[in-house]
Amino acid sequence: MPTLMHLYPLTGAALVGLGLYGIVTLRHPLRQLLAVNVVGAGIFLILGGLGRGTASTDPFPQALVITGIVVAVALTAFGAALVVRVAEEERARDDTAAVEATGDSA
């Protein structure tokens, strides 16, 4: 039976779908990272949002959500560094190709 307290978890479900759409359709890896974070936020809303009693909020899932947030930022930071590194490598490859091309035509 849906209650008012389902509002936030349902928002979470919407975010999960929205984020997944972003991951699939956005081809640039940095945008995909952003979409991944949206999905994560949605999952956290589901986890924490369903742990609410009439007067109190369950601290157990809150702790799990905090752990999840920290893990997410750690992975996002590494992912972002990886994206930059791939872009660097790409540019270095384009640079050498350009140099070789001008060298050939010279």
Q: Give, as ranges, the residues between 38 and 67 that touch other proteins (CB under 8 A).
A: 38-41, 43-53, 56-67
Residue 59 in tokens: 């601290």
Q: Is residue 1 a contact point for other proteins (CB under 8 A)?
A: yes
Closest distance of CB 102 from other proteins, Å: 18
Positions 3 through 22 that interact with other proteins (CB under 8 A) = 3-22
Q: Is residue 73 a contact point for other proteins (CB under 8 A)?
A: yes
Q: Is residue 89 a contact point for other proteins (CB under 8 A)?
A: yes
Dist CA 20 CA 23 (whole Å): 5
How far CA 90 is from CA of 77, 79, 81, 94, in Å, comes to 20, 16, 14, 6
Dist CA 39 CA 54 (whole Å): 27
Nearer Cβ to other proteins, position 54 or 105?
A: 54
- Residue 89, strand partner residues: none
Q: Is residue 98 a contact point for other proteins (CB under 8 A)?
A: no
